[in-house]
Amino acid sequence: MISRIYTEEQPFDFAGKYYQLKNVSGRPRPVQRPRPVTFNAAFGSPGRDFAARASDFLLTTFSEIDAGKAHIEDIKARGEKFGRKLGVFATAHVVCRPSQTQAEEYYERYAVTEADKSAVDYHMTQKQKFAGSHDEATFRLHAKRFAGGAGTFPLIGTPRKIVDDMVKMHKAGFAGTTLSFVNFLDELPYFTKEVLPLMKEAGLRVTG
C-alpha cells in the first residue's frame, strides 16, 4: 500500500488484512522517484524476510565486524529469493576524541562507571527474551555496548581510528552505518569537522 501511495497519481481504495481504506492518496509527492529509499531494521528471520520483500536496505547489529559478513550474506541471499538486491547498513555508537585515551575514558565513565546497571540488565534480558535482535555473543560478552549504545557496535577513539573501523566495515560489505552519540549537540560538530574529511579521503564519502 505504501508503494502505491508514493507512486499512484489518482486516489485508490485499499482492502487488506489489517486496513480497509477509501480514497487513499499521498501529498506532497516524494522528491525521489518512483519512491524514497526504504530502510528496515531486523535481525530475526521473519523480519529479514519482510525486509527482503519490501526494503532497499536493512539495518543489522553484529558482535564484531568480521562476524557481520555472515549477516550480510544471509540478508543478500534472502533478497535474491525475491529477485531483489538488498543493501546492508551497520548500526554504531560513537565516542570521538582527540586521543584514544580520552575516548576510552569517557566511554568507560558513561557506559560502565555511571551506567544504570539494573536498567541495562533489564533491557538486555527483555531484548534477549522477546526481540532476538543481537548475536548471542553480544549478550554474553558486551553488556557495555547496551549501556553505551543499545547494543550497537562501538566506534570509540580518535577520528583516524573511527575512519579505519569504518573502512573495515566497508570492506566487510556494509553499504554504510547509522551513528548515535551521547550528546549530538556537543559531539556532532567535532565529528563533522574532524571525521568527515577523513572519510572523504578514504573514499567513504562522495560530495558533489
Q: Which domains does the chain have, with CATH numbers?
A: 1-36 (no CATH), 37-201 (3.20.20.30)
Q: Helices marked H in 82-208 — which ranges?
A: 100-108, 117-126, 136-141, 143-149, 159-172, 184-201
pLDDT value at 8 more than 70: yes
DSSP string, 38-54: -EEE--SHHHHHHHHHH
Report which of 100, 90, 89 is spatially closest to residue 161, judged by C-alpha positions.
Answer: 100
Provide the mean pLDDT of the chain. Answer: 89
Residue range 105-150, pLDDT digits in tens: 999 999 999 988 888 877 777 776 666 555 656 655 577 888 898 8
Q: Per the structure block, which three cell numbers stand in for 31? A: 522528491
From 91-95, 140-144, 175-179, 198-202, the region with the lowest mean pLDDT: 140-144
